[in-house]
Chain A
Amino acid sequence: MRKLRHWGPGLLLLSPSLILLAIFVYGLIAWTTKVSVSDEHNALGSKGFAGLDNYTKLFTEDINDRFTHSLKNLAVFTVVFLVGAMFFGLLWAFILERGVKAEGFFRTVYLFPMAVSFVASGVVWRWLMNPNKGENAGGLNAVLGGLGLDFAQSTWWTNPSWGMASMAIPAIWQLSGYVMALFLAGFRGIPAELREAAAMDGASTYRLYRNVIFPQLTPVALSALIILGHMSMKMFDLIMSVSGPQWLTEVPAIYVWQTLLTSDYAKAAAISIILLLLVAVVIVPYLVYTNRQEKNA
């Protein structure tokens, strides 16, 4: 009883939040799952249970393999986005870590896209990725032309086979600064003694980074990958803003929206649950791992 009086009030203070999240996160996910196994394919409501039909149909009977197409798009986007943002983020952090005058200024500029919404930046990126080439080129193609790199001019996201890779360009622009901030904090978190010890041992700069500093950054890199990875799977605003909803650039998050517009609730729910599972596969192990790490600390 004394114990309960000790921690009871805390639990009480927390309980409104717990109830809200129980309903609006877990409860609604359960509800969506229920819709996903129903046959609620129009606004008239459900007549019965459909089992996993809605799921299997997405992979086997979807017109033009629309769902697998959206998964492919998502995969291409995610790979390019992760590689790009990690590369530039690490490179920028590395440059700044080596000591640059007016570092704060560089940092502020590199990170500023994070303060802007995808909807707003999408407005300009749609225009920068104009597919016109040669004489009529604008945006990125004009820059490439100006640099004498005409061969690199592209039709960007309108390219049916690899267009999704271009869609990752604005995302890389927007999030490399974030990765930089993570790595920079990582660099700065390395105890000075480690560097000094390595210097005393006569390690070259290359060996210092290769054997001492970079291994220390593994947890940061892992966090960054997971954060970006789960964002990428949920990518919606950016694509809606740059290309709008259309076949070429469709990903599951947009497919859900498009399906809802046709009132096919069961199908939309099934896609959402698959999306949720994709994210959970990445996030749950990360949460468990972080929780454990904290306990060991």
Chain B
Amino acid sequence: MTTTSIAAPPPVETLAPKSKPRPRSGPGSIFKYLLALIFLIIVLMPLYVLIVTSFKSGADIGVTSQWNLPETWTTASWEKAWNVLRPSFIRTFELAVPVAIISSLIGAANGFVLSRWRFPGADFVFTLILFGMFIPYQAVMIPLREIVTTLGIPPGITTLVFVHCVYGIPICTLIFRNYYATTVPEELIEAARVDGAGLLRTFSRIILPISIPGFVVTIIWQFTSAWNDYLFAIFLSNTRNGPITIALNALAGAQSPDYAASMAGALITSLPTLLVYVLLGRWFIGGLMAGSVKS
């Protein structure tokens, strides 16, 4: 999934209330909680079906018994799904980890230049860069495949690392540009320049040490997008060498799919990104929002 908006990122704290919320009581308040609770249940419903189905077996797995708890709980489908998905699960780590690290480094350098070491026309160049993250990738896929074939690059993880890094440049640049624009005072850079520090020195000595929050956001963002990507994967890899989304689609999309194994597979596929979301939620949201609210 890729969603992003441009402009400056709100500090992540903006999602939390500024003052202590004033939960009020009264009939309006009960209605409010009731609504919030109903929506909570609706949002969790698909997750419930995923979980209960993944532990079912045999005749238990039917359309009419979808909402029922398993008659007997079994982990057989988890084992089956894991055996099918394991190679691609490992490959997806080999994809998502380098992508996250490389794109973040590129993004940090670009973002620094475009916010604090600017050149004439920097804003225009930035807009040209940003356009790259909104394009439907179908518009580059035909030549991209041809290049990959002509150069004799084997389809699979290496190719995917490269394309995710390239097409991740806009979003990572955006996140870091906004991060530096709001956290690094212009005077700090001026002072470094007066002291005779060049670009690389300023970047490595002054900027990088205070960039950790930016890195956390871009690393999470790129890891999640590479992990969840299906479009590049289907165009540039296959079930033997591709990431887990391809393998899951093959497992779940068969003519008469094994529903329990498909659901277990969907959960296995989602576990890493869900874990990241639960553990590092505020930074996850930081990437998600990458803007949309003026600073």
Contact = CB atoms under 8 A, between A and B. Distances in A.
Interface of A: 7-11, 13-14, 16-18, 20-21, 24-25, 28-29, 31-32, 35, 88, 91-92, 95-96, 98-101, 103-104, 106-128, 130, 132, 135-139, 142-143, 173-175, 177-178, 181-182, 184-186, 188-189, 192, 219-220, 223-224, 226-228, 230-231, 233-234, 236-237, 240-241, 244, 253, 256-257, 260, 265, 268-269, 271-273, 275-276, 279, 283-284, 286-288, 290-291, 293-295, 297
B138 interface: yes
Contacts of B267: 120
B292 A14 contact: no
A132 B127 contact: no
Contacts of A233: 136
23 contacts: A11-B119, A13-B109, A17-B110, A25-B140, A25-B167, A28-B143, A92-B36, A95-B36, A99-B17, A106-B36, A109-B43, A110-B40, A116-B270, A117-B273, A118-B230, A124-B266, A127-B259, A128-B66, A181-B15, A234-B137, A257-B138, A287-B130, A295-B123
B241 to A, nearest CB: 17
B5 to A, nearest CB: 5
B3 interface: yes
Nearest to A8: B119
Interface residues of B, number: 116
B85 to A, nearest CB: 11
A117 B139 contact: no
Nearest to B295: A297
B18 A192 contact: yes
Contacts of A290: 6-7
A110 to B, nearest CB: 6
B131 A284 contact: yes
Interface in B90-136: 106, 109-110, 112-114, 117-120, 123-132, 134-136
Nearest to B220: A115
B117 A7 contact: yes
Nearest to B134: A283
Contacts of A287: 6, 127, 130-131
Interface stretch (B72-80, B152-160, B210-218, B274-282): B274-282
B136 A127 contact: no
A24 B167 contact: yes
A137 to B, nearest CB: 7
B285 to A, nearest CB: 6
A95 B270 contact: no
Of B126, B140, B245, most buried by chain A (CB within 10 Å of CB) is B140
A154 B164 CA distance: 39
Nearest to B224: A115
Given A21-B129, A115-B224, A175-B3, A265 B142 contact: yes
Contacts of A126: 252
Contacts of B46: 121, 124-125, 128, 173
B253 A113 contact: no
Contacts of A132: 63-64
Nearest to A269: B142
A220 B292 contact: yes
A14 B136 contact: no
A165 to B, nearest CB: 18
A294 B65 CA distance: 55
B166 interface: yes
B49 A128 contact: yes
Contacts of A18: 125, 129
A286 B134 CA distance: 11
B66 A127 contact: yes
B206 interface: no
Contacts of B127: 287-288, 291
Given A123-B262, A227-B5, A293 B294 contact: yes
Contact of A119 (B21, B67, B249): B249
Given A178-B288, A220-B292, A9 B117 contact: yes
Nearest to B227: A117
B43 A177 contact: yes
B277 to A, nearest CB: 4
Contact of A110 (B21, B39, B120): B39
Interface string B41-54: 01111110110010
A117 B270 contact: yes
Given A29-B139, A117-B228, A123 B252 contact: yes
B185 interface: no
B283 interface: no
A49 B267 CA distance: 49
Contacts of A237: 1, 230-231, 245
Contacts of B106: 16-17
B27 interface: no
B198 interface: yes
